Copies of this chain bind each other. A is one copy, B any other.
Amino acid sequence: MNKKAVVLVNLGTPEAPTTVKVREYLETFLSDRRVIKMPPALWQPILQTMILPHRPQKSAKLYQQIWTKDGSPLLLYAKTQQKLLQKRLPNYRVEIAMSYSHPRISETMDKLLQDGIDDITVLPLYPQYSGTTVGSIFDEVSDYFRGTDKIVDLHFIHSFYQEPAYIDYYAQKIRQRLQETPVDALLFSYHGLPKSYATDGDPYPQECRETTELIMQRVGNVKYFQTFQSKFGPGEWLKPATDTTLKGLPHRGYKKIMVIAPSFVADCLETLQELEIENKGYFMTHGGEQFIYLPPFNGDPQFADLLAELVAKKS
């Protein structure tokens, strides 16, 4: 009989909000050639001499603002979703894996193969495809199996930005929240990407646009903006930027806003710290009156329903 597994893959997280652990995590993350496309001979000296000596300390302080008593929110939510999905898929073994922290993709694969699993569905926890995230997971999974004698049936899911269950979830949450607290506008903030990656063919910005449009078709007639956040490094990134936009909105008359981050399936540094603390600060100090942050799925059982549906359709 087939022994099947689903592996939920997300980015990863430092093991602790300390300079040492954040440095370890950032070095792994920023050495991925899908993430930083500069040739390593150019990039590694910059990373080692200009970034790793300073950024981990700064970053660790930000992680401390969002850390829970049980650890990193991203990992906690991944584990909750794993348990919830496991209940919905009794014929599958459900595991998690992280691109840049433990359990690494190779560690999870080792475990599954040792247990005789012969059918693996890899489900990256990114609704929109980007080479920097989903593509990088594909490379790591295929690296794992290339040249080995232990290949299994493999299913690789590349995105779910337009899945009705995903769109409906957001549309419903937004409508519900708007009934409780009307706002002047919605702001969809997606994780950003260097502009050149998109010019070179990464379909990410288009998938983000389609997600926003599909959600808004169901939300109805409300003013909305779409922006990109989390710019890193000196190059040009996708625009408009979340921070610049938020600083300008109050002056344009949008003083009460609701912020949605549909490219994240769980809260993490980029939402809890960057959106809810940093960007909320920009907005409020520039004349904003109300900043409502609508969290992503996190531990919501409805997300496990969505994942179960995806697996049923695509594995």
- A77 in the interface (beta carbon within 8 A): no
Distance in angstroms from A198 CB to nearest chain B CB is: 9
Whether B156 contacts A135 by the Cβ 8 Å rule is no
Distance in angstroms from A99 CB to nearest chain B CB is: 15
A145 surroundings in chain B (CB, below 8 A): 138, 142
- A147 in the interface (beta carbon within 8 A): yes
Task: Out of B151, B197, B315, name the residue touching A129 (CB < 8 Å).
Answer: B151
Interface mask (A111-125 → B, CB under 8 Å = 1, otherwise 0): 000000011000000
- A148 in the interface (beta carbon within 8 A): yes
| Cα distance, A146 to B131, chains bound together (Å) | 9
| Chain-B contact segment, one of A43-51, A200-208, A212-220, A239-247 | A200-208
Interface mask (A130-161 → B, CB under 8 Å = 1, otherwise 0): 01001100110010011111111111111000
Whether A149 contacts B118 by the Cβ 8 Å rule is no
| Cα distance, A153 to B124, chains bound together (Å) | 11
Q: A139-B146, A146-B138 are in contact. Are A154 and B154 (CB under 8 A)?
A: yes
8 contacts between A and B (CB under 8 A): A129-B151, A135-B149, A139-B147, A148-B201, A149-B200, A151-B158, A154-B155, A155-B315
Q: Which residues of A contact B (CB under 8 A)?
A: 34, 118-119, 129, 131, 134-135, 138-139, 142, 145-158, 197, 200-203, 314-315
